[in-house]
Amino acid sequence: MPQQRIVLKNCDVIDPERIESSLENSGFQALAKARGEMTPEQITDEIKASGLRGRGGAGFPCGIKWEGARTAPGDEKYVICNADEGEVGTFKDRYILEKDPYTLIEGILIAGRAIGAKQGYIYLRAEYHFLLQHLQNAVDQAKTKGFLDGFNLEIREGAGAYICGEESALMDSIEGKRGESRYRPPFPTTSGLWGKPTIINNVETLMNIPQIILNGADWFNQMGTERSKGTKVFSVSGDVDKPGVYEMVLGSPLRELVEELAMAKGIKLVQIGGATGRLLPVDKLDTPLAFEAVLGAGAVTVYNESRDVIDIVHRTMEFLAEESCGKCTPCRQGTEVMAEVLGRFHRGEGSLKELQNLEDLSSAMMLSSLCGLGQAAPNPVMDSLQHFRAEYESRVAK
């Protein structure tokens, strides 16, 4: 399946500094339809029927999330756009924010109408401060055109924390606190920002909304696999000739993305979904890119034959240990211990007994961690033990 630009339809087509340019390319037509011809219930039903799932990594059905917040009691509700992409190797949202902030704003406004929110936030990661003025300019122009009537859209900047890409930590950060994950339930749809019903959607998820509203759920859900509808935007980096952002229909094989589009040669393994994502060896390149197989937020880092798997996994775990918020013990301690053990293997000082310890610790963390960080942190360890066990065994102290 070739590339297909739905989310990125207006990227590199419009002039991102001028809203008129977006308007000439069907910008804000879906908003007019959603506001003029559709009830909040109809909007939510359309998104549900589309099969759209969250693009930030977790893949939760978007329409179900919206319905939860729409039907939750309360007059004060919030829409949050998660623009805190901190997953290692992810930069697709940066690309989108640079090239087409208008479709994003339109998606947020449609979400606001669907759940009955009058206030929205774009939570922008501090590392993307250089995009702040550009994004504010787009919001201001949408306001001047009257699209924000009855809705207040604010950009809130993070202050540097990977965990704040996790939705409950993100809300704590907007509330001015340390960004630590919350216990759930209650879920944000009933008790989110300041305890009010809230939806939090990734940039890319919201970019899909205007297209679904304009073209209908049936158009959208014809693309993709049974459980992964539409397209996905991938960020490809590492040992490739053409790093960059690529949008493909879901279910496309990984091989097409890394070999044909990004021009990788001599691949040893590919990391999909960043630090908490999966590791696939070269003989698994025909794996489809879908929620049923591997996906995450679409970060794809390619490693060639010269790379050391233990080094990659060790560095990944050091990152997770540093970025763990520290609230729950399995994640705080587990990532530290794993980084230490992997460090020993990296230096050739491992022991076979410790491989079993790594596996036991992995299961404990997956079962008992508070949020996705700790639950998914063992992924690279488990995958590398499965596919590259011999490399571990060759690093045992003699």
Partner 1 sequence: MAGRGVITLPKDRADLVERLKEVQRRNGHVPEGAIAELAESLAIPVHEVYGVASFYSFLSTKPLGRNVIRVCRSLPCYLKSAEMIMEAVEKELGIGLGETTPDGRFTLELTNCIGLCDHAPAMLINQDPHVDLTPEKIKKILRAYK
Provide the binding-site residues for partner 1, judged by CB under 8 A.
85-91, 93-94, 125-130, 157-162, 173-179, 194, 235-239, 243-245, 271, 274, 301, 303, 307, 312, 315-316, 319, 322-323
Structure tokens at 304: 């060639």
**Residue (286 or 322) nearer to partner 1, CB:** 322
**Residue (98 or 340) nearer to partner 1, CB:** 98
Residues facing 21 on adjacent strands: none
Q: At 80, which amino acid appears?
A: I
**All residues at 6 or more sequence positions from 174 whose CB lies less than 8 Å from its CB, including other chains:** 80, 121, 123, 156, 193
Chain centre to alpha carbon of residue 190: 22
CB-CB contact of 115 with 70 (8 Å): yes
- Give me the least distance between CB of 163 and partner 1, in Å please: 9
Cα(201)–Cα(173) distance, integer angstroms: 16
- Give me the least distance between CB of 31 and partner 1, in Å please: 28
Structure tokens at 115: 């759940």
- Nearest alpha carbon to residue 120 among 76, 84, 68: 76
- Give me the least distance between CB of 43 and partner 1, in Å please: 29
**Residue (45 or 308) nearer to partner 1, CB:** 308
**Residue (145 or 307) nearer to partner 1, CB:** 307
- Give me the least distance between CB of 269 and partner 1, in Å please: 12
- Give me the least distance between CB of 230 and partner 1, in Å please: 23
**Residue (19 or 104) nearer to partner 1, CB:** 104
- Give me the least distance between CB of 30 and partner 1, in Å please: 28
ω before 186 within 30° of 0 (cis)?
yes
**Residue (136 or 368) nearer to partner 1, CB:** 136
CB-CB contact of 395 with 338 (8 Å): no
Structure tokens at 357: 């310890």
